[in-house]
Amino acid sequence: MDREIINQLDIPTGLKDLLISHGFTIEQLVNMQSNDIAKALNIDEDVARLISAAIKKYIEEQRRRK
C-alpha cells in the first residue's frame, strides 16, 4: 500500500524509487522533518522539502475526498 501511495506523489520517479528502496512508509514520512529525510536518503534538504510538500499535499487531498 505504501508503495502505491508513494507512486502517486507529485515527485520525480527517481525520488519515488529512492523512498521505496529505503522502505519508508507514508506514516514515517509524514512524521519526519525534511532535514531528517535528507539525512536518511543522503539528499539535499531542498529536495527533501519537495518530498515533504508532496506528502502533505497528498494527505490534504485524501482528507478532502472523505
Tell me the C-alpha distance between 4 and 36, whole Å: 23
**Which residue ranges make up each domain of the chain?**
2-65
- What share of the chain has pLDDT > 70, as a percent? 100
Question: Confidence class of residue 53 from pLDDT cuts 50, 70 and 90?
Answer: very high
Question: Confidence class of residue 66 from pLDDT cuts 50, 70 and 90?
Answer: confident
Task: Judge contact between 20 and 6, C-beta under 8 A.
Answer: yes
28-56 CB burial, b ≥16 within 10 A, e <16: ebeebebeebbebbebeeebbebbbebbe
Q: What pLDDT sits at residue 1? A: 80
pTM: 0.90
Torsional class of 23: left (φ above 0), alpha (ψ -120 to 50), beta (otherwise): left
User: Is residue 22 scored above 80 in pLDDT?
Assistant: yes
Q: What pLDDT sits at residue 41? A: 96
Q: What pLDDT sits at residue 21? A: 96
